[in-house]
Amino acid sequence: MAARVSTDASGTVAETAARLHALANPDDALFLQGYFKTGPGEYAEGDRFLGVRVPALRTLVRDLDGVPPEGLLGLLRSPWHEERLLALLALVRRYPRADPATQDALHRLYLAHTAHVNNWDLVDASAPTLVGAHLDRTGQWHQLDALTSSPSLWERRIAMVATFHFIRKGVYVPTLHVAGLLLLDPHDLIHKAVGWMLREVGKRDREAAEGFLRAHQRSMPRTALRYAIERFPPDLRRRYLDGTA
> Using an 8 Å Cβ cutoff, are 209 and 228 in contact?
yes
Q: Mind listing the domains of the chain with CATH numbers?
A: 1-127 (no CATH), 140-245 (1.25.10.90)
- Global confidence as pTM: 0.93
**What whole-number distance in Å separates Cα of residue 22 and Cα of residue 126?**
25
Q: Is 177 exposed, middle or buried (0-12, 13-18, 19+ CB in 10 A)?
A: middle
DSSP H/E element including 204:
helix 188-204
Summarised one tens digit per residue, pLDDT across range 131-178 is: 999 999 999 999 999 999 999 999 999 999 999 999 999 999 999 999
Summarised one tens digit per residue, pLDDT across range 60-86 is: 999 999 899 999 999 999 999 999 999
pLDDT, mean of residues 21-38: 96
**Cα angle 127, 54, 113; round to 5:** 35
